[in-house]
């Protein structure tokens, strides 16, 4: 049973300012909860239906018994900010100390002002697919702990470190080469596979800022053959990873 205060607290985590105050967030969805447990993420509590618990017990990891709370589907619905129904939900601590700069020999994705929670989740999933261990988000990106983002990651949030950092500063501080996705760069097909560096992806509508483009080592472009004005930011990131990382 959840108390009224607990329900209110969980609901409060739908808002960024409350997540930041408490350093906790919610992950919703049958599968993602399992993935987070399996990956050893700092899960503090599970709220799930009788059915889900029956199907998934014993749970991976070492949760104390009182951290697993059976709730009715109606209560889960009350807790959820998503329109699709879920049978399980997890309460997690945000990871701390993840904001070091990308290390030599590694690839990172740096995102400037990504606004759509679904795009952000898809970008995290792309990073996870291509084995990119770290994403750096500019402070004006949508919060990665937004419930919609967490769901769109399909569990990849468990495997990719997320740091918040000014992207201009990042480029001034790093010694790694950087690749800025723009509409007026060099054809991506002409680049060799990258061994290390930072792939820069900008806002859905405006792209990267001029300052960031100017600081980047390379300006890269996916050549346009047809008539579309632009590509979705996550699709563009996927295409770039598909050219530079495999």
40 binds its own copies (CB under 8 A): no
CB of 124 to its own copies, least distance (A): 9
Task: Give the integer Cα–Cα distance in Å for 89 and 100.
Answer: 30
Is 132 a binder of its own copies (CB under 8 A)?
yes
Contacting residue, 68, 69, 101, 231, with its own copies by CB under 8 A: 231
Closest distance between its own copies and the C-beta of residue 1, in Å? 34
For its own copies, the binding residues in 177-206 under the rule CB under 8 A are 187-189
# binding residues, its own copies (CB under 8 A): 39
x/- letters, 110..129, toward its own copies (CB under 8 A): --------x---x--xxxxx
Q: Write the DSSP symbol of residue 57.
A: P
Our measurement of the distance from residue 108's CA atom to the centroid of its chain's CA atoms, rounded to an integer in Å, reads 13
User: Is residue 159 near its own copies by the rule CB under 8 A?
Assistant: yes
Q: Give the C-alpha separation, 233 to 123, whole Å.
A: 8
213: helix, strand or coil: helix
Longest dimension (CA), the chain: 60
User: Measured between alpha carbons, how far is 200 from 215 in angstroms, rounded to an integer?
Assistant: 11
At which residue do the structure tokens 């060799």 appear? 192
DSSP string, 170-184: HHHH--S-EEEEEEE
By beta-carbon proximity to its own copies, the closer residue of 76 and 107 is 107
- Closest contact distance (angstroms) between CB of 48 and its own copies is 21
Footprint of its own copies on this chain (CB under 8 A)?
Answer: 118, 122, 125-132, 154-156, 159, 187-189, 222-232, 234-236, 238-243, 245-246
């Amino acid at each position: 049973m959840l108390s009224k205060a607990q329900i209110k607290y969980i609901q409060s985590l739908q808002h960024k300012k409350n997540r930041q105050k408490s350093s906790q967030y919610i992950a919703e969805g049958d599968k993602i909860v399992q993935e987070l447990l399996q990956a050893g993420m700092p899960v503090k509590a599970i709220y799930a239906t009788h059915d889900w618990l029956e199907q998934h017990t014993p749970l991976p990891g070492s949760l104390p018994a009182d951290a697993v709370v059976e709730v009715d589907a109606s209560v889960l619905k009350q807790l959820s900010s998503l329109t699709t129904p879920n049978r399980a939900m997890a309460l997690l601590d945000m990871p701390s100390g993840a904001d070091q700069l990308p290390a030599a020999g590694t690839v990172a994705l740096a995102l400037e002002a990504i606004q759509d929670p679904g795009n952000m989740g898809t970008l995290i999933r792309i990073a996870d697919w291509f084995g990119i261990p770290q994403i750096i988000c500019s402070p004006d990106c949508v919060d990665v702990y937004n419930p919609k983002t967490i769901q769109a990651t399909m569990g990849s949030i468990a495997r990719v470190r997320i740091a918040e950092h000014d992207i201009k500063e990042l480029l001034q501080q790093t010694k790694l080469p950087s690749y800025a996705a723009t509409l007026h760069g060099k054809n991506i097909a002409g680049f060799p596979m990258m061994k290390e560096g930072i792939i820069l992806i900008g806002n859905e509508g405006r792209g990267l800022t001029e300052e960031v483009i100017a600081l980047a080592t390379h300006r890269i472009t996916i050549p346009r053959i047809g008539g579309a004005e632009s590509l979705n930011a996550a699709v563009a990131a996927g295409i770039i990873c598909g050219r530079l990382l495999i």
